[in-house]
A and B are shown apart, each in its own frame.
Chain A
Amino acid sequence: MRRRCAGKGPPVRTFAPVALMMLALAGGATAEREESGQGGLAQVIASSFRARGQADLDRLRQTPMQLACSVARPDALPADVQQRIRRDALQTVRFPPDGRWLGEWQRGEKIAQSGTGLQYSDPPDAPRGGNCYGCHRLSGTEVAFGTIGPSLYRYRQRNTGDADAMRRTWIRIWNTHAFNACSMMPRFGDAGILTPEQIRDVMALLFDPASPVNR
């Protein structure tokens, strides 16, 4: 499983339902502009970046979701565009075949602390992190946490009584666009950033009663 999903291929998948692309274009939500003056944006992008390390130029090609969400007010996208993005995202999610949601929170904490991975400066073989603390508060003792995403401190306690919490959290980590069309959180499973094993460990960090998130 680790091998299958470790992101050996290009990490950005071009899952390209043509209908969505058309909708995005029709909705005026494209990031491309008409060419003008010293050259249009597409031309400028083509001449302004160079492949380096593991970051090849293919990474600049946008998925339909990326294209549609490249606007100042993604919440103002037409409802049907958002709905399609969510639906397509949900279809990418792969659940653990053995039904085991939780790995080890200790490994999950390491993954949450590490921001290594997929930068051209990172060794391609180095274990990747999720950099969860970059955006979220998790453990009660780590003071260096970001605030781009909501606090996940006491995550287990917040979800008591929700029988579906683990499945929903798995989806959120795998491809959060299933819930919110233009969420800012990376698609950790779908884009091959973390392996399913690693996602299990992050799940344990969130749900294990012994995890520092819940103590």
Chain B
Amino acid sequence: MPCVAGPRPAKQGVRAIADRWPLAFAASALAAAALACAAVRAADPTSVYRQMLADDNPAELAVARGQELWQMPRGPKHAALTACDLGQGPGVLAGAFAALPRYFADTGSVMDVESRLVHCMVTIQGFSRPELAAAPFSELGEPQTDLEVLVAYVAAQSRGATIRVPQGAPQERDSYARGRDLFYRRAGPYDFSCATCHGADGLRIRLQQLANLTRSEGARSAFGHWPAYRVSQGAVRTMQWRLSDCVRQQRWPQLIFGSQAAIDLSTYLGVLAGGGTMDAPSLRR
């Protein structure tokens, strides 16, 4: 059942398409698309698949490993991460993930969970920042990286927490504003922005549902479910990985791990997702 075409007479053809094509941003078209898409969602052909995979998330394996790494004295300084301050005080994990990215006075910058964990692994444990930043994500067939399992563990300690990414500091507000502009920025040979795929309700690419990341509801669903175990990859993937892989498919150059743009996009999503509930690591195709 086509979603956007709706119940229009078939004979309008090319002209009708010409009239309808770019309207996904227009309020009237949003309403029309939402109506037309209700039928598609109801008959979602992949719902059985998703239900069957809903429980028994292999991400739990990563969470367990992350807990070990969090508590274990490691690195050149032979120290545990239990002194790491993720924004709620040293070693406080409950709800910390739900309030990141945020401004940290000790570094004078806005950091997301991934850049903050790297910061702790460098300053507390003595690991090499360039080495951590060079391979933050596991390659296919490789075991999860330390960072990935730590992110999974930290996220799991915020399960059920309300998302409240702060906007008190001017740096946090700037990060949000830049993230929002980046979200709408069209570039590359395909002219894609984030909004191209994530700018309206009820859309799919192939069979994959696309969250509308211009609204709180969609942002809550996206922000609240990452990190996630990707069944297509057999691995837990983090928000920075998610953003970077979207950027790859946008046909842009590579989004650098820990870059300001990656953090800003996270801030934009997190702020928009405010009031939502963390339920990560989740399971995604």
Closest to A166 in B: B14
B189 to A: closest C-beta gap in Å: 4
A106 within 8 A of partner (CB): no
Contact partners of B23 in chain A: CB under 8 A: 75
Contact A55 B186 (CB under 8 A): no
Contact partners of A63 in chain B: CB under 8 A: 191
Given known pairs A148-B205, A159-B14, the reply for A73 and B25 (CB within 8 Å) is yes
B93 to A: closest C-beta gap in Å: 27
Our pick among B12, B22, B45, B262 for the contact of A184 (Cβ within 8 Å) is: B22
A165 to B: closest C-beta gap in Å: 5
Contact partners of A158 in chain B: CB under 8 A: 10-13, 16
A-B contact count (CB 8 A): 222
A65 to B261, CA, bound (A): 22
A15 within 8 A of partner (CB): no
Classify chain A: how many residues form its interface, as a range. 35 or more
Contact partners of B175 in chain A: CB under 8 A: 38
A182 to B220, CA, bound (A): 27
B128 within 8 A of partner (CB): no
Our pick among B18, B184, B191, B254 for the contact of A180 (Cβ within 8 Å) is: B18
Interface bits A25-60 vs B (CB < 8 Å: 1, else 0) = 000000101001111110011011111100111011
B114 to A: closest C-beta gap in Å: 14
Contact A31 B2 (CB under 8 A): no
Contact B188 A137 (CB under 8 A): no
Binds B, one of A92-100, A138-146, A195-203: A138-146
A164 to B193, CA, bound (A): 32
Contact partners of B20 in chain A: CB under 8 A: 150
- 21 chain-A/chain-B pairs, Cβ below 8 angstroms: A31-B181, A31-B185, A36-B174, A41-B178, A44-B261, A45-B182, A50-B254, A59-B187, A66-B191, A67-B186, A70-B193, A72-B214, A75-B26, A119-B251, A147-B202, A148-B210, A150-B4, A150-B21, A164-B14, A172-B14, A176-B21
By a beta-carbon cutoff of 8 Å, the part of chain A in contact with chain B is 7, 11-12, 31, 33, 36-41, 44-45, 47-52, 55-57, 59-63, 65-67, 69-75, 118-121, 133-135, 137, 143-155, 157-162, 164-165, 168-169, 172, 176, 179-187, 191-193
